[in-house]
């Protein structure tokens, strides 16, 4: 089993230390565990978003985070868990210059790109759900997926995370999504960016894996590589939804998934999950 998306207490909205995650992974049969803490928000983005200090660790902690993961990797060796160190980047346009600066300074195994913000609105924050009332769902989904494709083309991310996060609270468009899904799948395929089967959606109001079946199938048909992550925010969520993820992959036609080491993609057979 691989789990290529987990968070620790350092993001300020999760709990648990790297050691606790590694021990939980070992208990659940996880063979590859990738920490993907939230990159500190860029000053340009943080200045625009109320409550931004609750969304990511401070920049001063980035080196400490990496040292903690390196220490956890030593523990992982003794427990049969390969531990990798990644980062999750808020990949909206205003934040990308800062992200590229950080990537020049630090070496990660993988960079996840995420869209958590529409302009100044943190749309996946339960405390800000009222923002959906100000959007037409069709226009919101169009804007969100345009931002996902734009982020992928920027080169900041190896993997686009929870790629249909906009559905988190069950807000769905009225229009058909086929064209929208084809466009984003084509965009990611063109630049060689992977996506993830992210099982956190099973634990959210949408009660569905990110991405949903139709979008996952569009990615498979376009030849977009896929990885797997629980998006755990507590040690007891490590590996959560693994069986559901495998079933979704097989149903969509995937026969392999990828793991990033040193930002290089390596394949793992679905049967090995």
Give the model confidence (pLDDT) of 187-233 as tens digits.
999 999 999 999 999 999 999 999 999 999 999 999 999 999 999 99
**pLDDT score for 85:** 98
Give the model confidence (pLDDT) of 94-149 as tens digits.
999 999 999 999 999 999 999 999 999 999 999 999 999 999 999 999 999 999 99
**pLDDT score for 63:** 96
Closest listed residue to residue 55, CA positions, set 41, 34, 69 = 41
| Count of CB atoms situated within 10 Å of the CB of 97 | 11
pLDDT band at residue 53 under the 50/70/90 scheme: confident
pLDDT band at residue 273 under the 50/70/90 scheme: confident
**pLDDT score for 3:** 97
Q: Decide: helix, strand or coil at residue 167.
A: helix
**pLDDT score for 108:** 98
- Sign (positive/negative) of CA torsion 165, 87, 155, 54? positive
Q: 123 with 158: CB under 8 angstroms?
A: no
Distance CA 147, CA 118 (A): 9
Q: Which residues contact 60 (CB under 8 A, 6 or more apart)?
A: none
Q: Domains of the chain, with CATH numbers? A: 2-272 (3.20.20.140)
**pLDDT score for 25:** 97
Distance CA 157, CA 234 (A): 24
Global confidence as pTM: 0.95
């Amino acid at each position: 089993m691989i789990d290529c998306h987990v968070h620790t207490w350092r993001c300020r909205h999760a709990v648990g230390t790297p050691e606790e995650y590694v021990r939980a992974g070992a208990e659940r049969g996880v063979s590859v565990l990738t920490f993907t803490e939230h990159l500190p928000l860029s000053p340009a983005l943080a200045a625009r978003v109320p409550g931004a200090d609750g969304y990511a660790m401070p920049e001063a902690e980035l080196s400490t985070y990496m040292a903690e993961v390196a220490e956890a990797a030593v523990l992982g060796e003794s427990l049969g868990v390969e531990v990798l160190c990644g980062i999750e980047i808020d990949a909206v346009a205003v934040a990308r210059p800062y992200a590229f600066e950080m990537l020049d300074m630090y070496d990660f195994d993988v960079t996840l790109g995420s869209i958590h913000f529409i302009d100044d609105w943190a749309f996946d924050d339960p405390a800000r759900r009222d923002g959906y009332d100000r959007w037409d769902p069709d226009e919101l989904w169009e804007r969100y997926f345009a931002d996902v494709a734009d982020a992928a083309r920027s080169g900041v991310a190896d993997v686009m995370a929870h790629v249909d996060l906009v559905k988190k609270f069950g807000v769905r468009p009225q229009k058909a999504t086929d064209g929208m899904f084809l466009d984003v799948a084509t965009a990611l395929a063109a630049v060689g960016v992977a996506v993830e089967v992210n099982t956190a959606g099973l634990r959210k109001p949408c009660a569905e894996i990110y991405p949903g079946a139709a979008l996952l199938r569009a990615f498979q048909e376009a030849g977009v590589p896929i990885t797997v992550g629980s998006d755990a925010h507590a040690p007891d969520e490590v590996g959560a939804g693994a069986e559901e993820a495998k079933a979704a992959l097989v149903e969509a036609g995937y026969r392999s998934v990828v793991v990033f080491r040193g930002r290089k993609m390596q394949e793992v057979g679905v049967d090995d999950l």
